[in-house]
Structure 1
Amino acid sequence: MAQEKHDLQLEDVQDYTSDYPPDYPGAEGAETKRRGLLCGLIMGNKKMTCLLALVFILVIAIVTILVVGADENAIEGFHQPLIIIDPSTLDASVTGPLMASLLAMYDRNGMDSTPLDPSSGDDTPQRRAFFWLAHENQNLDHSTKMARYALAVFYYSTNQVPTEFDEEPETWYVARRWLTKASYCEWHGIVCDAQGRVEALEMDRNFLTGVLPIELRILEDTLYSIDIADNGISMSEENFDVFLNLVNLEEFFGDNNYLEYSEGLPPQMASLVNLEQLTMSYNLLGGDLSVDNVIPAMGQLTHIEMEANYFSGPIPDYIGAMEDLVYFYMRRNNFNGDLSFLESGAMTTLFAMWLDGNDLTGNIPAQIGSLQNLASLSISNTKLSGPIPAEMGDLLKLRRVWLYDNQLTGDIPLALQKLDKLEVLELHNNNMSGSMPQGICDIFSGVDYDFKALTTDCNGAVACSRSCCTKCY
C-alpha cells in the first residue's frame, strides 16, 4: 500500500513554502499566505544568514575546485561550451561498424533512425552523439556502449537547443564529466544501480532546453526516475513519444518547463503504468481531465502535483476512487464543478489535498470525514458554500486547514474541538456566523508552532476573542 511507502511529514509537503509568483500563468492576484520556516529565520537574522550563505558558497567553491581540479577528465566550471566532434577526424574503420551496430539497435527497438542518417545533416543530436561515440572509441561491451550513446543523445537534445521560449539558450549549468571517458555513473546527475546501469536522471535546475529524446528507451529496463524540474524543456504532441516505452518509470518530475498539451495529459503518458509520483506544475497543460484516460491507466500513483496549469472541467470522479493516493495538489487551474469526487469515501490514504484558486462551487461533502489520514487541507479562494460539515471533526490527524476566501455559511462546528493536532485553521472571508468554539481556542493555546494561525471574520459576524484568534478579519 502507498501509505506504507511514505514517511508522511508535513514539512516535506510544501506547507511552509511561499505561493507561486503572482505573474505566473493562472496565479493572477494570488496572496502569499504561507511562509516557510527557513524564510522566517532569514528575515529575522539577515546578517547572520548572509554570513552563513557566504561561508557556504566559499566552501562549495573550494570543494568544487579540489574535486574538479584533481581530475584531468573532469569538465571544469559552469556553462561549459558544447562538445562537438568534427566528423572529418573520425576513422572509417570505427564509424562503419559503429553505425551498423546503432542501426541494428534502432531496428530492434522499433525506433526511427532517420535522424541518424547522413541525409538529416550532421547537427542532429543523434549524429552528434554518433560522432562523439566514434571519437571516444573505447573497448566497451555492447550494452554500455548503447547506454553511453543514449545519454549522449540526451546531452545534445537538451543542451543549448533553441526553442520558441528561449531562442538563445545557454549551455547546461553543470556538465561535470559528461562526454568524458569516465563511467557515465560519474557524470553529473546520473544515478546508477549496483550493476552500473542507469536508474535515474537528476537534471533539475540545470538550464536544459529542447526535448527528451526517444533514445531514452534504450535505458528503459532500469530507468525509474527522471527529474527535469525547473528547466526550459519544450515538448508537445509527438515529443511525448519518449514516454511510450518507459514502462518502469516510477517518478517523473517535470515542474516549471514548457510541457504543452491542450486535451488533458499527453496520451503517450498512459504507458507509464508503474508511475507513482507525477509532478508537472508550472507548465502549459490544459483541457478536461474528466474525459482523460491517462491518469486511470497509472494505477500505482500516490502523488499527483499539477498546479498552475490550465486544466478545466470538473475534478474527475476517478480521482475519488484512487485508494492509494497520498498527495493531491491541483491549485490554480481552471477547474469548475464541485467536490463530488470526494463522495466515494475511498481516499482513505490521502495525506494532503490542495485545490485553491479554482472555480469550485457547492458544499463540502460530509464524506470528507472518511479521509482518516488527512493532515493538510487547503481549498481557499474558491466559491464553496454551505456549512462546514461536522464530519470534519472525525479527521483526527488534521493539522492544517485553509478554507478562507469562500462563501461558507453557518456556525463553526463544535465537532472541530476533537482535532487536537490543529496548528492552522484559517476560516476568514466567508459568510459564517456564531462564535469560535472554546475547545478550539483551548487547542491553540497549547500549540507550540511559530506559524500557528486561527482566523475568522471576528471583526464582523463571528465572535472570537483576541486571546483566541491569532488575527481577526
Structure 2
Amino acid sequence: MSSLSYKDNPGETSTYGEDAFPPTASVFRSNDDNASTATSRRRKICCCLPRPKSRRGVWMLRAVFAFGLLLMAVIGVAVYLGMQNSSSTPRNVGPLISSEEMDRYLRQAVGANELENRDSYTSLAYRWMLQNPFSLQEFRMRVEDRVLQRYALACLYYATYRVNNDWLRYNQGLLDAQPQDIFAWTESQGWLVYANECDWYGITCNQFGYVTSLDLGSNELTGEIPPQLQYLSHGLEFLNIEGNYAYNVHPHFLGKLTNLKYLYMKSSLFESDGIPLVFAALTNLEEFDCSHTMFHGPLREDIFENMAQLRYLEISGNQVNGTLPQSLISLPNLKYFYADSVGLTGNLEFLQDMSALVETWLDRNPTLTGTLPTVLGPQLESLSLTRNNITSSIPNEWGSHSKLKHLWLYSNYLYGSIPHSFRKLSQLQTFAIEDNLFTGNVEHMCTDLSISEFQVDCEMDCSCCSCCGLECTGERD
C-alpha cells in the first residue's frame, strides 16, 4: 500500500506534537480537595462525641477517632479510583493486544516507510501506539479497524498540535517559530492520555466502538490535517474542522470518508481549484459548509450529481466566478443554500427550478444580472439578493408566496411600486428594499401587515417604515 506520510518542507526537521509525547496530566481531584473534605468530616465526628469522664472514655474516643480516619481513607481511595476509572465506555477489559500484533497490522496497512521516519508525525503516532496497547474485548469491532482508528487519531494530534505550516509562516510571522510559539489546541482533554479514544475531547463512538463524530471546530489546529483521517471511514458521519489554522492543498483524502453526512469546513485553510472532484463520492452528505475556504474555481457539474440527500449547502466567500451547475440546481432536497460573494454570473432564472428551497442568500454578487424571476419555490420563506446588479420591478406573482417571512432586496437597480398583492403576505416580518429606484405608496402594507423590519427608498410614502434610503444601508455597513 502506498505511503501517506507527510513532511512539512522537505529537508527541514519538524517537531510534531508537544515535545513529541504529551505530558500525562492529572485529570482527577487534587489531594488538597480530599484533605479539605476529610478535615470537615473529622470536625463533625469530634463535635458530636460526649466529653470523656474517665481513662476508658478517652480510649473509646481515640478508637472512634481512628475508625473515622480509616473510614475516610477507604472512602477517599474508592472515590479516587472511581474517578480514575470512570468512562462512558469500558476500558482495559480482557487481554491487551500485543505490540507485535499492532506492528504487524500497521505495517500491512500503511507500509514501513510511513512508520520509520523518526522526524514525522506518523512515526510519533506509531511509537505511541506501541506504548499504549488496548483491550481486545473492549469493543465489537475488528482488531485491524481499531488499530487504524487509533493510529489515525494519533496522527491527527501529532500533525496539528503546535505544528507550523506555510500559511502561519508567511501570514502570521511564524517563519522560524518553535513549537512552543505556535498555537496549542484550545481543548485536548483525554487525547493520547485516556486509554479509550472514545473518551477523548470531540469524539463520539457508536456501540461497536467506531468513531462516528469528530468535532474539533475552532480548536486552533495547526500544521496539516493528515490524510490518515481516511482510516475513520468505517463509521465517521460527522466531521467539523471549521475555523482552524491547519493548511491543506488539494485535500483529496476527504473524498474517502464516504459515510459522511455532515461536513463543516467553514473559515479553514483548504486550498483547491474549486471544490475537489473527489467530493463527488460523498453521496450521503446532508449538510456541507465549505464557505470562506480557498476552494476558488468553477463548480463542476459532476460534483453534485449524486448528492440527492443534500439539504444544506454553503459556499459563500469562495470565488466561483461562473454559473451554478444544473446538478446543484436540481438537487431534490436542498432547502438551505448560501452563495454570498462568490462571483455568480448570469441571471436568477435558476431560482424557479429549486423547488425545495426554504432559504437562500445570494448577496454581493455584482455580476449577477437580469430580472427577478416570476416564480419562486413554493416552500421559500427567506430570500436575500442584496448588493447585486439586478434591474427589474417586483413581480406581482410574488404576492402569492404565502410562506415568505424575510425578503431582502436592497442595493440593486429595482424600480416601480410594490404590488398590492403583497398585502396577502401575512407572515412577512422583514422587507428591506432601500437603495433602489422604487416610488409610490406602500400604505396598503402598513394597514394589512405587521412588519418588524420595513425599509424602503425615501421617495416612497410609508408611515410605518423603520427607515429609508442610505439611512438604513449605513446602519448595516
Does TM, scored on the shorter chain, surpass 0.5?
yes
8 Å CA contact retained: 1:315, 1:339: no
Given the alignment of the two structures, is residue 411 of structure 1 paired with residue 417 of structure 2, yes or no?
yes
The letter for the 2-side match of 1:287 is G
The structure-2 alpha-carbon separation of the partners of 1:276 and 1:385, relative to structure 1 and needing over 3 Å to count, comes to: same
Given the alignment of the two structures, is residue 124 of structure 1 paired with residue 104 of structure 2, yes or no?
no
- What displacement does 1:131 show? 0.3
8 Å CA contact retained: 1:115, 1:127: no
Q: Which residue of 2 aligns with 1:98?
A: 102
The letter for the 2-side match of 1:293 is D
Deviations 1:378-424 (A, max 9, x none): 11000111111122112211111110000011211111111101110
Cα distance in 1 for residues equivalent to 2:134 and 2:232: 20
The letter for the 1-side match of 2:289 is T
Cα distance in 1 for residues equivalent to 2:408 and 2:388: 11
Residue among 114, 136, 140 paired with 1:140? 136
SS at match of 1:408: strand
The structure-2 alpha-carbon separation of the partners of 1:131 and 1:297, relative to structure 1 and needing over 3 Å to count, comes to: same
Q: Which residue of 2 aligns with 1:27?
A: none
- What displacement does 1:105 show? 2.6
Q: Which residue of 1 aligns with 2:474?
A: none
Q: Which has the larger radius of gyration?
A: 2
Residue among 353, 356, 359 paired with 1:352? 359
- What displacement does 1:72 show? 5.6
The structure-2 alpha-carbon separation of the partners of 1:210 and 1:443, relative to structure 1 and needing over 3 Å to count, comes to: farther
Q: Which residue of 1 aligns with 2:271?
A: 260
Q: Which residue of 2 aligns with 1:88?
A: none
The structure-2 alpha-carbon separation of the partners of 1:354 and 1:415, relative to structure 1 and needing over 3 Å to count, comes to: same
Cα distance in 1 for residues equivalent to 2:252 and 2:194: 30
Q: Which residue of 2 aligns with 1:312?
A: 321
Q: Say what the alpha-carbon RMSD is for the aligned residues.
A: 2.4
8 Å CA contact retained: 2:115, 2:126: no
8 Å CA contact retained: 2:335, 2:358: yes
The structure-2 alpha-carbon separation of the partners of 1:233 and 1:296, relative to structure 1 and needing over 3 Å to count, comes to: farther
SS at match of 1:252: strand
Cα distance in 2 for residues equivalent to 1:348 and 1:437: 32
Q: Percent identity?
A: 29
- What displacement does 1:298 show? 2.3
Cα distance in 2 for residues equivalent to 1:204 and 1:435: 48
- What displacement does 1:94 show? 6.1
Residue among 220, 234, 245 paired with 2:233? 220
Alignment map for 1:28-427 (pairs within 5 Å): 96-106=100-110, 113=111, 116-118=114-116, 121-140=117-136, 142=143, 143-167=145-169, 168=177, 169-237=182-250, 240-262=251-273, 264-289=274-299, 291-344=300-353, 347-359=354-366, 360-368=368-376, 371-427=377-433
Given the alignment of the two structures, is residue 442 of structure 1 paired with residue 444 of structure 2, yes or no?
no
TM-score normalised by structure 1 residue count: 0.72
Deviations 1:162-216 (A, max 9, x none): 1122134312111101112431111000011123221010001110123332222
Cα distance in 2 for residues equivalent to 1:66 and 1:281: 42
Q: Which residue of 2 aligns with 1:109?
A: none
Deviations 1:277-311 (A, max 9, x none): 1101121121122x442122323211111111211
Cα distance in 1 for residues equivalent to 2:243 and 2:186: 12
Structure 1 stretch displaced more, 186-195 or 318-327: 318-327
8 Å CA contact retained: 2:302, 2:327: no
SS at match of 1:215: helix
Tell me the number of residue pairs that the alignment of Structure 1 and Structure 2 aligns: 365
8 Å CA contact retained: 1:314, 1:336: yes
8 Å CA contact retained: 1:399, 1:423: yes
The letter for the 1-side match of 2:254 is F
TM-score normalised by structure 2 residue count: 0.72
The structure-2 alpha-carbon separation of the partners of 1:243 and 1:184, relative to structure 1 and needing over 3 Å to count, comes to: same
Cα distance in 1 for residues equivalent to 2:212 and 2:268: 22
Deviations 1:110-161 (A, max 9, x none): xxx365242xx21322211110011113343623333211211111222222
- What displacement does 1:95 show? 5.2
Q: Which residue of 2 aligns with 1:9?
A: none
The structure-2 alpha-carbon separation of the partners of 1:376 and 1:317, relative to structure 1 and needing over 3 Å to count, comes to: same
Note the residue ranges of structure 1 that are not aligned, 5 or more in a row.
1-63, 75-92, 107-112
Deviations 1:72-120 (A, max 9, x none): 699xxxxxxxxxxxxxxxxxx96554322112233xxxxxx365242xx
Structure 1 stretch displaced more, 227-236 or 309-318: 309-318
Cα distance in 1 for residues equivalent to 2:455 and 2:240: 38
